[in-house]
Amino acid sequence: MNKIIGNTGFNASRRGFLVGSLAGGLSLGFNLPLTAKQAETPEINAWVVVKPDNTCVVRIARTEMGQGTLTGLAQLVAEELECDWKKVATEQIMPGQNLARKRVWGEMGTGGSRGIRTSHDYVRRGGAAARMMLMQAAADQWKAPVAELTVKEGVISHAASRRSTTYGKVAAAAAKLAAPDPKTITLKDPKSWTIAGKPLKRLDTAAKLDGSKIYAIDVKLPGMLIAAIKDSPVFGGKVQSFDDSKLAGRPGFKKVVRVKDTAVAVVADTYYHAKTYLAELPIVWDEGENAATSSATIAALLKEGLESAGPDNGGRKEGDALKAIAESAKRVDAVYSTPFLAHATMEPMNCTARVTADRAEAWVPTQNAESSLASLSEAAGVPLPQCEVFRTDPGGGFGRRGGGQDYVRQAAEIAKQFPGTPVKLIWTREEDQAHDFFRPISMMKGSAGLDANGNVTGLHFRISGQSINAFSNPGNIVGSKDERQLQGLWKEPGDAQLGYTVPHLLTEYMMRNTHVPVGAWRGVNTNQNAIYVECFMEEVAKASGKDSVVFRRELMKNHPKHLAVLNAAAEKGDWGKPLPAGVHRGIAQFMGYGSYSAAVAEVSVSPAGKVRVHRMVLALDCGIAVNPQQIAAQVEGSVAYGLTATLYGECVVEKGRMVNLNFDTYEIMRLAEMPKVETVIVNSGGFWGGVGEPTICVVAPAVLNAVFAATGKPVRSLPLKNNKLA
Amino acid sequence: MAKLNINGKVRDIPAEGEMPLLWAIRELAGLTGTKFGCGIAQCGACSVHINGEVMRSCSIPVSSLKPGDRIVTIEGISPNLSNPVQKAWLELDVPQCGYCQSGQIMAATALLKKTPRPTDAQIDAAMTNICRCGTYQRIRQAVHIAAGNAAGAKSAASDSVKI
């Protein structure tokens, strides 16, 4: 069992570093400070430590939150290291360590499906450099030319002298060698991979099966207190007053803390006490200027954006789409809308902080540990080099635990009131649903023109809605242009390119910001935009009289990768083949996060209007596939996440606040509604696309297009539960 | 003070009667494998067995339990991952983030105790815990594997091809 101890940070247990006894699996442990570790086992380089027993410890800088990045990164390093996969263990890098070593491990942020695609090169180089040093150490020992040595699974051999040794035996000598000149490092061709590219088992499963895995919410520290918090229910509101007179003397009660201007926290001996007392605490709020805002007023704002004379906040103008559509033989017009959505990670926001005048530490479930560190330093008022964040694998991330780090700031503010005493802040589910960085709300007005033969003459997409950049990264808005909200409609290839070419195209973004905090939400903004583009294109296909796939293919000739994925999904999804009575198909394709996705859904709609998704076939081209089994798991997961949003997902605003505060009103799809998912990995090679997010965007439009096929009526507003289909 | 039999060990737990069993288990007995997810018996992350029945411990006050009630948490279902459900979960790499999996495993072990070879419909009815990572398909397949139902497992199999 992992044991949390005092000042040394995390877990003194050796368990995390040893090869597990189960199915060759390993358990990912917490970390010892590298200084302590260096004394016993020197590192070969920043990425690799080889122990005398031949265990190869691969250092991981990115967050593992379920998406399998930890295993994939270890595969990439091990591939170049040429070590024995059964003896690979992993170790997490902490952001203070990264800072102290001038960010030798690079960026730690894990979002935008970047965990592997933006670090594959340097982690593989790290593995390769370590291999070269280990082989050089053996060559030096044997006084043989290194070129005559071979290595397989961590065993180095010299055929001429019939000698062999292991990585473990030469590790100490290798650690003293200079790193090889980067120009001398040649990475393997993925076609020759034996570890990477293979459907290997995850390294981190065992501890998730017996309760032994420690999430941040499970952290125990000596003398620790627990806090529960309530932030102003109305975004932008403030605490006016609270009355804690009745809490004094209650069992375990310690203190009520005002957190900045906006929140109140109750600190006690247990979470049960803290949240119970918080619920009893009378708080008077100054609700501020947003208390009258509602979903209806926000919808009116977005509609105004759809009709506004401008100016726009980004888009493409190719030809004269408005004229082409006006002069067309037939036109199609439709307005679509998607709501705010919460992430609803299973592990609620939490953070444990310990702050003194000259040291701040925090235990955080984070997707961006460096951002956590910066937030801790700022809120605690302690310089960065005197701070450390002990990151734990989050119980779900989906974009919630990236840049914002609101819960870290709050925990540090509270812990400052108890110098030297660790305080764990845990949010209730209600707080988690009330204070997310929500998927931005938007609407889309689409218009298309068709000629007499059913060919598209012009397309116009106008999206009106909230901007993530305006809320969290205004510096990313160039002039007034914010292309991020048009993800998936871009002209530029490589990341989120529109897969259609039409004679005249107009895309526009009309920024309409609300008072609701918004942020990244697994697959944002391709999720909303794929619904807009792919459901609208389905309406245009119907108007053209053409088959959905034939119609799309005609417009995708300039986009062979998009097209290949569409075709792969159509083929595996039996497009055009007979279906049981009452079952209908829908198809969609889109690009996001550097990868190409397509889906075919088989759906029935009951006489009462109940939608049932029976089967989904998804095709994904992420270029180089690092672990096909993990890719399939991500595709399956994206279906569940995407279907929940399609069927049920909606955060309604009333009186300036969120009202769907727990799973009774923010419904999540259960196992019974999970369709059979089939994954086609289109392994085209040659590029590194994302995996965690890309396929989610095609789930909703494929299902909605199947519902359209079933009912004859397009669904234009999400979620489905608000649409009467009977 | 409550006397609770958790994983075969009777413990004196300094819990007020109104305290939900979840918090007695996590904060007072120190067993953190049982998770907090929603607090209103919706998500099932807090699932434990009470006298063999799967229950959502966030909504069971300690005062409602009798000293003879047998409470089993995820830590108590096997000493070494030898429960067939754990083995099947390991075989299929079911967990993603893993946070809900204690509850999923508690629901699956309770199901199989009563219904050793469940149909898909029985799995649908029994496995109602929320997983946000979306491991449902593998959970279904793993329950069939744990039940020794090869045909059920094959029909539920996570199906992927690389072209």
Instruction: Give yes or no: residues A323 and A358 share one domain.
Output: no
Q: Which of B92, B136, B138, B139 to mutate to test the interface with A (most CBs of A within 10 A)?
A: B136
CATH number at residue A571: 3.30.365.10
What are the pLDDT digits (tens) for B5-64? 999 999 999 999 999 999 999 999 999 999 999 999 999 999 999 999 999 999 999 999
Subunit contact A215:B162, Cβ cutoff 8 A: no
Q: Give the residue carrying structure tokens 């979840």.
A: B22
Q: Is residue A470 within 8 Å of A513, Cβ to Cβ?
A: yes
**Are B55 and B93 in the same domain?**
no
A576-594 average pLDDT score: 98
Q: What CA–CA distances, in Å, run from A119 to A424, A496, A689?
A: 33, 20, 12
Residue A40 pLDDT: 64
Quick one: tokens of B141?
């397949």
Is the domain of A495 the same as that of A640?
A: yes
pLDDT of residue A15: 31
Asked whether residue A231 is domain-assigned, the answer is yes
| Phi–psi pair at A491, nearest 5 degrees | -85, -35
Nearest to B162 among A270, A395, A625 (CB): A625
Q: Report pLDDT for A31.
A: 41
Which of B94, B97, B139 is opposite residue A396, by nearest beta carbon?
A: B97
A2 touches chain B (CB under 8 A): no
Closest CA to A88 of A2, A195, A171, A170: A195
* One domain for residues B6 and B70: yes
Do residues A413 and A260 touch, judged by C-beta distance below 8 A? Answer: yes
Same domain, B71 and B105: no
Round the average pLDDT of chain A to a whole number and report it. 94
Q: Given A377, A396, A426, which residue is the final one in a domain?
A: A426
Determine which helix (DSSP H) or strand (DSSP E) holds A645, and give its type and residue range: helix A628-647
- Chain B residues with CB under 8 Å of A22 CB are 81, 90
- Determine contact: A365 vs chain B, CB below 8 A: no
Cα–Cα dist A647/A718, whole Å: 8
Buried b vs exposed e over A83-118: b needs ≥16 C-beta within 10 Å?
bbbebbbbbbbbbbbbbeeeebbeebbbbbbbbbbb
Residues of A within 8 A of B163 (CB-CB) are 568, 680-683
Q: What are φ and ψ of residue B115, in 5° steps?
A: -130, 85
Chain A residue numbers with beta carbons less than 8 Å from the beta carbon of B93 are 201-202, 205, 629, 633
- Yes or no, beta carbons of B133 and A632 under 8 Å apart: no
Closest-CA residue of A relative to B124 is A672
Return the minimum-mean-pLDDT range out of A15-24, A80-89, A188-197, B54-63.
A15-24
Give the largest Cα separation in chain A, rounded. Answer: 85
Residue-level pLDDT at A16: 32
The reported pLDDT for the residue numbered A624 is 97
> Is residue B51 domain-shared with residue B95, that is, in the same domain?
no
pLDDT at residue A62 above 90? yes
Do B67 and B90 lie in a common domain?
no
pLDDT tops 60 at residue A28: no
Residue-level pLDDT at A715: 98
**CA distances for A398 relative to A66, A259, A343, A348, A677, angstroms:** 10, 26, 6, 13, 20
At position A149, the amino acid (one-letter code) is: L
Smallest Cβ distance to B96: which of A217, A637, A677? A637
Give the span between the Cα atoms of A491 and A494, in whole angstroms. Answer: 10
**Of B97, B133, B136, which is closest to A674 when you measure between CB atoms?**
B136
Provide the pLDDT for residue B162.
80
- A313 and A284 in a common domain: no
* Res A591: pLDDT: 98
| Burial of residue A378 (number of CB atoms within 10 Å: 0-12, 13-18, 19+) | middle
* Chain A residues close to B90, C-beta within 8 Å: 22-23, 25, 205-206, 209
What mean pLDDT do residues A484-488 have? 98
Chain A hits for B35, Cβ within 8 Å: 215, 217, 346-347, 395
pLDDT of residue B158: 75
Do A231 and A111 lie in one domain? The reply is no
The answer to whether A429 faces chain B, any CB pair under 8 Å, is yes
For residue A500, how many other CB atoms are within 10 A of its CB?
20
Q: A668–B73: do the CB atoms touch at under 8 Å?
A: no
**Shortest Cα distance from A468 to chain B (angstroms)?**
23
Crossing angle for the helix pair A628-647 and B136-146, to the nearest 10 degrees: 120
Interval A115-144 mean pLDDT: 97
Q: What is the DSSP letter of B24?
A: I
Q: Are residues B91 and B72 in the same domain?
A: no
Q: Do B100 and B124 fall within a single domain?
A: yes
Residue B24 lies in a domain: yes
Q: Are A475 and A418 found together in one domain?
A: no
The reply to whether A455 and A530 lie within a common domain is yes
Percent of the residues in chain A that have a pLDDT greater than 70, as a whole number: 94
Distance from CA of B77 to the nearest CA of A (A): 8
* Arithmetic mean of pLDDT, A163-191: 97
At residue A566's C-alpha, the angle toward residues A703 and A320, to 5°, is 90
Residue A93 domain-assigned (yes or no):
yes
Q: For residue A628, give every residue at least 6 positions away whose Cβ sits within 8 Å of its Cβ, in sequence order, or none.
A: A197, A198, A199, A681, B160, B162
Q: Which of A12-16, A173-177, A234-238, A561-565 has the lowest average pLDDT?
A: A12-16
Closest CA in chain B for residue A432: B38
CB A92 within 8 A of CB A137: no
The neighbour count for residue A178, using CB atoms within 10 Å, is 7
| CATH code, domain with B41 | 3.10.20.30
Distance CA B60, CA B73 (A): 14
DSSP for A206-219, please give it. GGGSSS----GGG-
How high is the pLDDT of residue A403?
A: 86
Residue A133, pLDDT > 70, answer yes
Specify whether B133 is located in the same domain as B117.
Answer: yes
Question: CA A519 to CA A189: how far, in whole Å?
Answer: 37
Could you tell me the pLDDT band of residue A630, with boundaries at 50, 70 and 90?
very high
3-state SS assignment for residue A286: strand
B154 to chain A: closest CA residue: A676
Do the chains contact at B124 and A637, CB–CB below 8 Å? no
CA distance A538 to B144: 38
Residue B64 Cα, gap to closest chain A Cα (Å): 17
Chain B CA closest to residue A692: B133
B44, B76, B108 - which closes a domain: B76
Please state at what angle helix A628-647 crosses helix A696-711, rounded to 10 degrees: 50
pLDDT at A683: 85
Residues of A (595-654) whose Cβ lies below 8 Å from B? 625, 628-629, 631-633, 635-641
Same-domain status, A376 and A411? yes
Distances (CA, A) of A233 to A170, A226, A413, A414, A659: 60, 22, 19, 19, 9
Which run of H or of E encompasses A392?
A: strand A387-392
Q: Which of B60, B72, B83, B93 to mutate to test the interface with A (most CBs of A within 10 A)?
A: B93
Instruction: Please indicate, yes or no, if residue B104 is contained in any of the structural domains.
Output: yes
Regarding whether B109 and B59 lie in a shared domain, the answer is: no
Total residues found in chain A within this entry: 726
Same domain (yes/no): B20, B67:
yes
Are A412 and A475 in a shared domain?
no
Answer whether B106's CB lies under 8 Å from B87's CB: no
Which 386-405 residues of chain A touch chain B by CB within 8 A?
A: 393-398
pLDDT digits (tens, 9 = 90+) for A378-423: 999 999 999 999 999 999 999 999 989 999 999 999 999 999 999 9
Same domain assignment for residues A277 and A133: no
The nearest CA of chain B is from the CA of A186 a distance in Å of: 27
The average pLDDT across A72-81 equals 98
Percent of chain A with pLDDT strictly greater than 90: 94
Q: Are residues A530 and A452 part of one domain?
A: yes
Helices (H), A458-507: 468-472
pLDDT of residue A9: 33
Query: Does residue B162 lie in a domain region?
Result: no
Q: Which residues does chain A have within 8 Å of residue B27's beta carbon, measured at their own beta carbons?
A: 226, 270-272
The yes-or-no verdict on residue A27 having pLDDT over 90 is no
Q: What is the CATH number of the domain that holds B131?
A: 1.10.150.120
Look up tokens 């300094």; give the residue: B14
Question: Domains in chain B: how many in total?
Answer: 2
- Whether residue A8 has pLDDT greater than 70: no
- As a whole number of angstroms, the distance between CA B48 and CA B35 comes to 10
User: In angstroms, rounded to a whole number, what is the distance separating the alpha carbons of residues A669 and A671?
Assistant: 7
Closest chain A C-alpha to B83 CA, distance in angstroms? 10
* Predicted pLDDT at A575: 98
In a domain, B160, yes or no: no
**Do A396 and A271 lie in a common domain?**
yes
- Portion 532-551 of A in contact with B at CB < 8 A: none
Q: How far apart are CA A321 and CA A665, in angstroms?
A: 42
Asked whether the beta carbons of residue A395 and residue B97 sit closer than 8 angstroms, the reply is yes
The pLDDT of A467-483, averaged and rounded, is 96
Q: Are residues B69 and B119 in the same domain?
A: no
pLDDT score, position B61: 98
8 A C-beta contact, residue A676 and residue A602: no
Q: How many domains does chain A contain in total?
A: 3
Which of B43, B76, B109 is the C-terminal boundary of a domain?
B76
CB contact, 8 Å: A428 with chain B?
Answer: yes
- Chain B partners of A201 at a C-beta cutoff of 8 Å? 93
What is the domain range of residue A363? 216-288+349-426
Of the partner residues B45, B93, B139, the one whose CB lies closest to the CB of residue A346:
B45
End-to-end C-alpha distance for chain A, whole angstroms: 54
- Choose one of B47, B76, B105: the last residue of a domain: B76
| A638: chain B residues, CB-CB within 8 Å | 134
In the structure, what pLDDT confidence band is assigned to residue A726 with cuts at 50, 70 and 90? confident
| Three-state secondary structure call for residue A14 | coil
The domain boundary, picked from A178, A205, A232, lies at A205
User: Is the same domain home to B56 and B93?
Assistant: no
- C-alpha A397/C-alpha A250 separation (Å) is 36
Size of interface A-B (CB pairs under 8 A): 214
Kindly report the nearest CA distance between residue A167 and chain B, in angstroms.
29
The β-bridge relationship of strands B70-72 and B2-6 is parallel
Number of neighbours of residue A670 by Cβ within 10 angstroms: 18
Q: Could you read off the pLDDT of A317-360 as tens digits, one per residue?
A: 999 999 999 999 999 999 999 999 999 999 999 999 999 999 99
Residue among B125, B132, B160 minimizing CB distance to A344:
B132
Say if B163 falls within a structural domain: no
Cα–Cα distance, A322 to A506 (Å, whole number): 8
Closest-approach residue (CA) in chain B for A680:
B161
Question: d(Cα A128, Cα A678) in Å, to the nearest integer?
Answer: 35
Residue B150 Cα, gap to closest chain A Cα (Å): 17
Domain that holds residue B102: 84-155
The verdict on A149 and A237 lying in the same domain is no
Residue B59 lies inside a defined structural domain of this protein = yes
pLDDT (0 to 100) of residue A252: 98
